[in-house]
Structure formats: structure tokens, C-alpha cells
Amino acid sequence: MEAAVLVSPAAGRGRARTVSRAVLDTLREKGVATRVLDATTRPDAERQAAEAIADGAGAVVVVGGDGAAHAGLQAVAGTAVPLAVIPAGTGNDLALALDVPADPVAAARAAAGDLLAGRVRALDAGRTAGRWWATVLCCGFDSAVTDRANRLRWPRGRRRYDVAVLAELARLRPYEVTLSLDGVARTLPATMVAVGNTAWYGGGLRMCPGADCADGLFDVTVVGPVSRRELVRTRPRLADGTHVEHPAVTVHRASRVELSCAGLSTYADGELLAPLPVVVDCVPAAVRVAGAGPRDDQLI
Ligand SMILES: Nc1ncnc2c1ncn2[C@@H]1O[C@H](COP(=O)(O)OP(=O)(O)OP(=O)(O)O)[C@@H](O)[C@H]1O
């Protein structure tokens, strides 16, 4: 078994690079041969992973956060080649949803055990504008914040997001969104719409708490019109998913979601995906995952 290994150099502010040595040692000690890819950009990572598969690699192992998993996903989705996610980013929402051990070495041990035993878990994946994604696709307030943060030249780092949040809060108004769920369309005022294949996004926020990544359906959380005060007060409830009890929030299930609204973009797995309008399809069991829980054989 040879695995192509993608290390996301910037993930977790360099943590992925730091832990990659121990991860590689663990994979090799367990008997997984490794082919380390030296991609420096995400498109490069996607291309190199696809080439490695075409060249016979039997698995793709990503070391990093959700952006790294997103890159690996483009190469493996729709194939029989398994993906293993070693959490080393800032958010790691896919690893959380898959019950991957939080410690990178433990995650590598679990991945190696599954790869060598041929044990995989099937994961549904979202397909939008020719891209695959695994966690949550969102548009509305959060995507506007990210768009604004990306446009800002100053300040840098986390504070850029704080400035963008304040600016978007100042101009908060519901978007006029046309949302179609399995062919049934409605136009409604929404602060944001989140389409969840898995529950978490944004680094541990349980946006779509009931999402099951193996049921062939998305959980769609729609946040209707809310005041600034309500938005700020309700946001902490994202940590445990109880925001869905707020009267302005509705939750739906569908396998095909169509979204349109002028001026909004969509993000999925934390990465910019496409401007609206988009069609979002849930592709059942599109990905095979190694190293995911629940497992009772932690010591393999
Ligand atoms: N193999 C790679 N090589 C270069 N760049 C990558 C690679 N994988 C991902 N990236 C890019 O690097 C950025 C950061 O990586 P990543 O998302 O993995 O870490 P993070 O942001 O720390 O974690 P998280 O997304 O879970 O919060 C991403 O936006 C992604 O586009």
C-alpha cells in the first residue's frame, strides 16, 4: 500500500508542517509506503494528488485543515481510492465530523490500520459548480464577512475577520434568496443559508446539527431576518447547535439544493467555491474514508 501524502504548508499556522514528520514516521512504521507531494498551492495539490492516483497511489492522506481535505477530496471523490484526514489545521471540521482522533499521530495510526486492513467508511459529498466538498456550504452573512475580510489589506490575521464582522453587522439586512429544495422553490428573506453534509463549520460551529454524512441528504439551515442584537446573542449557541431552536431559524432536508441571490458567493470547507446562482447536489457515498471513527480497535 502506497499513500500519496499532501501536507498543507500554511495549515494551523505551520502546525501541519511541524507534525508531518511524526505522521510520516507513524505511517511508515505501520507499513504504509508514502509518496510525499510537494505542492505549494491548492490547485497544485489537487493536480499532484490526481496524478499520484493515476500513477497507482492507493490512498491520499492529507495533513492539515479543511482546506487540505478539500484539496484531497477533488482527487479521490467518485473513485475507490480512500482519503485519510490527519487534523492539523485551525478548524478541522471534517475530522471532527468523522470522529478522527484529534492527535495527528493517533490519527495517522488509525488511518494506517484502516488502509492496511482495507477498512473504509463511506461519506456523502457535495458537488457544486464542478467542485466536491465535504462539510458545509454557506452563503449570506458569513460569506459576505469572508469576502470582505479577503478584500481588506489591513489589519492582518484574525483581526481582519473581526473588522469584517463589524462592517457587515453595520449593514446587516436580509438577502432576498431563492431557495429550491428538491425542485420546490421559494423566495424568502434570509440572513444566511447553510447546506450541511456534516454538522460543523468555521472551526467547531455546529451549524447543521442534525446533518448525517451517510444519509444521502443535506441538512439545510436557513436563518431568516434577525436584528444585529439577536444575531450577536444567538451566535454562541452555534457551539452546541441550539441556535436551530431560535424562531427565525428553520431546518430542511434535501438532496438537491438550488440557491440564487445577486451579489453573494458561496464558501464550502472554508474555501471560496462559486458566485450564486448554484446547484448543490448530494452525491451518496462519493468518498471512502480511512481512519474515521467510531472504532474499537484504537491500538492496531
Ligand atoms: N497541499 C496544499 N498545498 C498548498 N496549499 C494548500 C494545500 N492544501 C490546502 N492549501 C491551502 O492552504 C490554506 C490553509 O490550509 P488549511 O485549510 O488546510 O488549514 P487551516 O486554514 O489552518 O485549517 P481550517 O481550514 O481547518 O481552519 C487553504 O485555504 C488551502 O486553500
Please work out whether the CB of residue 282 comes within 6 Å of at least one atom of ligand 1. Answer: no
Same domain, yes or no: 107 and 140: no
Ligand 1 center–CA 3 separation, angstroms: 19
Which domain-ending residue is among 89, 119, 149?
119
In a domain, 296, yes or no: no
pTM of the model: 0.96
Domains identified in the chain, total number: 2
* 300, pLDDT greater than 70: no
In this structure, the answer to whether residues 149 and 214 fall within a common structural domain is yes
For residue 26, what is the domain's CATH number?
3.40.50.10330
Q: How much is the mean pLDDT over the chain? A: 96
Give the model's confidence band at 156: pLDDT under 50 very low, under 70 low, under 90 confident, else very high: confident
Place of cell 442584537: 229
Q: How many A from CA of 114 to the centre of ligand 1?
A: 24
Domain membership flag for residue 146: yes
Are 109 and 233 contained in the same domain? no
Dist. CA 173–CA 192, nearest whole Å? 10
Check pLDDT > 70 for residue 297: no
Going by alpha carbons, the residue nearest to atom 14 of ligand 1 is 11
Atom of ligand 1 nearest to the CA of 94: 26
Do 238 and 278 lie in a common domain?
yes
Average pLDDT over residues 184-196: 98
Looking at 67, 87, 119, the residue that finishes a domain is: 119
Residues 101, 241 share a domain: no
Q: What is the ipTM of this complex?
A: 0.95
pLDDT for 13-64, tens place per residue? 999 999 999 999 999 999 999 999 999 999 999 999 999 999 999 999 999 9
Same-domain status, 115 and 137: no
Same domain, 38 and 161: no
Separation of 8 CA from ligand 1 center, angstroms? Answer: 5
Q: What pLDDT score does 295 carry?
A: 56
95 lines ligand 1 (CB under 6 A): no
Which residues have C-beta within 8 Å of that of residue 164, sequence separation ≥ 6? 145, 146, 148, 149, 152
Instruction: Tell whether 140 and 241 lie within a shared domain.
Output: yes
Same domain, 106 and 245: no
- How many Å lie between the centroid of ligand 1 and the Cα of residue 19? 15
Contact 192, 259 (CB under 8 A): no
Residue nearest to atom 28 of ligand 1 (CA): 67
**Is residue 8 in contact with ligand 1, taking CB distance under 6 Å?**
yes
Last residue within a domain, chosen from 75, 91, 119: 119
Both 138 and 111 in one domain: the answer is no
Report the separation in Å between the CA atom of 188 and the middle of ligand 1, taken as the mean of its atom positions.
Answer: 34
Q: Are residues 224 and 262 in the same domain?
A: yes
Whether residue 33 is contained in a domain is answered as yes
Distance CA 114, CA 82 (A): 10
Classify residue 226: in a domain, yes or no.
yes
Q: Specify burial of residue 138 (Cβ count, 10 A radius: 0-12, 13-18, 19+).
A: buried
Atom of ligand 1 nearest to the CA of 7: 1
86 lines ligand 1 (CB under 6 A): no
Whether pLDDT at 109 is above 50: yes
CATH number, domain containing residue 143: 2.60.200.40
- Does the beta carbon of 87 sit less than 6 angstroms from any atom of ligand 1? no
Q: Does the residue 225 lie in any domain?
A: yes
With cut-offs at 50, 70 and 90, classify the pLDDT of residue 66: very high
Asked whether residue 163 is domain-assigned, the answer is yes
Pocket lining: 39 vs ligand 1, CB cutoff 6 Å: yes
- Tell me the residue range of the domain where 9 lies: 2-119
Ligand 1 proximity of 12 Cβ (cutoff 6 Å): yes
**264 has pLDDT over 90:** yes
Q: What DSSP element (H or E) covers 29?
A: helix 15-30
Is 290 contained in some domain? no
Regarding whether 138 and 90 lie in a shared domain, the answer is no
Q: Per the domain annotation, does 294 fall within a domain?
A: no
How far apart CA 166 and CA 260 sit, in angstroms, is: 25
Q: Which of 42, 93, 131, 267 to mutate to test the pocket of ligand 1 (most atoms within 8 A of CB)?
A: 42
CB 264 within 8 A of CB 278: no
